Amino acid sequence: MHSNFMKLSPYEMAKSSSISDLEKYDATDETGAKWRTKAPAHVKASICYNYLTKDERRKFNQIKSGDKMKWLYIEPNDNYWNVIGFIDENYPEGYGIKIDKEKQFETVVLGYVNRVFKVLGWAVPNLKIRSISDYF
């Protein structure tokens, strides 16, 4: 399961969200993407995407309140962002942003699996094991 997830496209591994109150949290200025305290992760991802693509609006539509979008955890970078969003399948490649695939796997897959297994009272399996022989 883990190795299959790592091969997915950004669109396939991203979390889906609807955006509301983007304007309430957006504190971006000419020095960079900024957000107000307690901004949800998907709103931060939208703010980062909008700032990153602001000069290429013909190629990238800006995310607005009411939009449905996708978002991903990303590896540490010069901007100190840990998330990036995008609309449709228009992931902003070529900006030096690397997806934190391990964090994405933990959030998208393990988060849900852990909750289901906990409710059922079952032990959580190690989904990073590549084959059944790894159990023995």
Q: What is the pLDDT of residues 45-81, one digit of tens each?
A: 999 999 999 988 888 899 999 999 999 999 988 888 9
Q: Which of 86, 76, 14, 11 is nearest to 45 (CA)?
A: 86
% the chain with pLDDT above 70:
93
Range of the domain at 121: 2-135
Answer whether 116's CB lies under 8 Å from 127's CB: no
Tokens of 128: 């990073």
59: CATH: 3.40.1820.10
Answer whether 86's CB lies under 8 Å from 47's CB: no
Number of structural domains the chain divides into: 1
Whether residue 34 has pLDDT greater than 70: yes
